[in-house]
């Protein structure tokens, strides 16, 4: 019959030769070492064969993991299989991710062959990372799965766009991953949702809508995932700017102000003002104004020289009108005086009028209009108008006249011929 000394020796041998058995697995043998335990009658046969002792049945030993799960590290999109081996075949197990029980189906495939169990995870995603547990009831084994995420790439890039002012366009791209957060930019400027810009994202597709296009919207637009970018160019063609209301002819008195006004079919469109063919710039004489679609040209303190044709131009259209400057009635305060001079001398005529700088005046000699030249010097200094005839001859004798407005002053010019000398006497 076995004694306690022999049982101690057997326990040492079992622990040495079966390292996979845990302390729980040896509990039956341990009972033999303590005959005082109240239940050791269950472990020792009530009717032992003379000279022998019965060992505990292996079916009563707890299940342990002979081979435990191993940590895994893999790339997104890969598949991974977690293996472990039990100390008994056919023992049911429960798989969990954290505290969530896993069932076979979808991306999970659970298999059990004899004492080997495995969990296969297909098409691994970053959200699949974590701790996985295999629970056999008596024991558990745990492994950590790390997933290295792949960067989202553009499977369909943005495309260049050409549109007409006032239209709406859409930039669209597709990503390798669904619902990836993206940033939209115009050049270096980040865009925000508003009446101008509208963002949409549905799965793998990201869209940017730009409403009510203007030429200033032209440029490069960028979709940025943080790791990848897609860039496309937008060209917005301006609509022709036309005049809704053209310029109208004006008539105003000298000294007053004149205002030319026209209306465009587009607010804020650039215009150019001209007098005849010369471009008009803002100055003390001219003020250029634009309020929305209305453009104005103000001409201050009109003079006779301001009369003429004025035009307003856009890149695609032009309107023009004439300005008539009515001179105030000018009267002659001091008229011409008749002169008698000798041939070859210069003769001077002078007239004083009621207003300064009267431009529309005319000098005549024998009803022939005179021009300012080396023989006829015509001058104006304020209200004073002068005519100087150089080296007159007898043929210049006649009537000299000065005309201003409806008024005329006349004078008589008499040129005497040179006296001939005979034998020292004048004749």
If you compute the radius of gyration of the chain from its CA atoms, what whole number of angstroms results? Answer: 57
Nearest to 312 by CA among 364, 372, 248: 248
**Model confidence pLDDT, tens digit, residues 177-207:** 888 899 999 999 999 999 999 999 999 999 9
**Is the whole model's pTM more than 0.75, yes or no?**
no
Mean pLDDT by 10 residues, the chain (427 residues): 42 42 41 39 44 56 94 93 94 94 94 95 93 95 94 94 94 92 94 95 95 94 94 94 95 92 92 94 95 96 91 94 88 93 93 85 93 92 93 93 92 85 47
The CA distance from 238 to 383, in Å, is 54
In contact, 258 and 301? CB cutoff 8 Å: no
Long-range pairs of 364-369 with CB within 8 A, sequence gap ≥ 24? 364/399, 364/400, 364/401, 364/403, 365/389, 365/396, 365/398, 365/399, 365/400, 365/413, 366/398, 366/399, 367/399, 367/401
Q: What pLDDT is recorded for position 321? A: 96
Show the domains of the chain with their CATH numbers: 4-60 (no CATH), 65-148 (2.60.40.10), 154-237 (2.60.40.10), 243-326 (2.60.40.10), 332-416 (2.60.40.10)
Is the Cβ–Cβ distance between 76 and 124 less than 8 Å? yes
DSSP string covering 97-161, please? ETTEEE-SBTTEEEEEETTEEEEEE-S--GGG-EEEEEE-SS-EEEEEEEEEPPPP-EEE----E
pLDDT at position 151 is 87
pLDDT at 158: 96
* pLDDT number for residue 150: 87
Q: Among candidates 329, 346, 339, which has minimal Cα distance to 407?
A: 329
Q: How far apart are CA 392 and CA 405, in angstroms?
A: 28
pLDDT at 113: 93
Q: In the prediction, which pLDDT does 357 show?
A: 77
What's residue 155's pLDDT?
A: 95
């Amino acid at each position: 019959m076995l004694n306690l000394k022999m049982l101690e020796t057997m326990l040492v041998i079992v622990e040495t030769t079966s390292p996979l058995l845990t302390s729980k697995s040896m509990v039956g043998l341990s009972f033999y070492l303590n005959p005082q335990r109240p239940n050791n009658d269950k472990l020792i046969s009530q009717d032992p064969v003379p000279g022998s002792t019965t060992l505990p049945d292996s079916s009563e030993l707890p299940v342990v993991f002979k081979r435990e799960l191993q940590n895994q590290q893999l790339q997104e999109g890969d598949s991974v299989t977690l293996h472990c081996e039990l100390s008994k075949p056919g023992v049911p197990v429960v798989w969990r991710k954290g505290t969530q029980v896993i069932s076979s189906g979808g991306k999970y495939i659970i298999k059990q062959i004899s004492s080997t169990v495995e969990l296969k995870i297909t098409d691994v995603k970053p959200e699949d990372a974590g701790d996985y547990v295999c629970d056999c009831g008596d024991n558990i084994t745990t492994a950590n799965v790390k997933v290295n995420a792949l960067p989202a790439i553009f499977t369909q890039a943005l495309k260049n766009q050409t549109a007409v002012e006032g239209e709406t366009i859409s930039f669209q791209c597709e990503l390798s991953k669904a619902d990836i957060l993206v940033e939209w930019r115009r050049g270096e400027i980040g865009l925000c949702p508003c009446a101008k810009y509208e963002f949409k994202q549905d799965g793998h597709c990201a869209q940017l809508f730009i409403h009510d296009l203007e030429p200033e919207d032209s440029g490069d637009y960028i979709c940025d995932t943080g790791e990848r970018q897609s860039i496309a160019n937008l060209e917005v063609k301006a609509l022709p700017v036309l005049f809704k209301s053209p310029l109208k002819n004006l008539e105003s008195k000298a000294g007053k102000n004149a205002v030319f006004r026209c209306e465009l079919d587009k607010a804020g469109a650039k215009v150019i003002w001209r007098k005849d063919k010369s471009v008009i710039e803002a100055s003390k004489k001219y003020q250029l104004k634009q309020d929305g679609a209305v453009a104005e040209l103000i001409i201050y303190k009109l003079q006779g020289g301001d009369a003429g044709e004025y035009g307003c131009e856009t890149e695609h259209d032009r309107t023009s009108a004439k300005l008539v400057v009515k001179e105030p009635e000018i009267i002659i305060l001091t008229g011409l005086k008749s002169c008698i001079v000798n041939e070859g001398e210069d003769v001077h005529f002078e007239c004083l009028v009621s207003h300064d700088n009267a431009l529309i005046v005319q000098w005549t000699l024998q009803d022939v209009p005179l021009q300012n030249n080396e023989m006829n010097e015509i001058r104006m200094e304020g209200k004073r108008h002068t005519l100087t005839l150089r080296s007159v001859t007898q043929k210049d004798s006649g009537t000299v006249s000065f005309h201003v407005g409806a008024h005329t002053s006349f004078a008589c010019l008499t040129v005497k011929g040179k006296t001939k000398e005979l034998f020292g006497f004048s004749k």
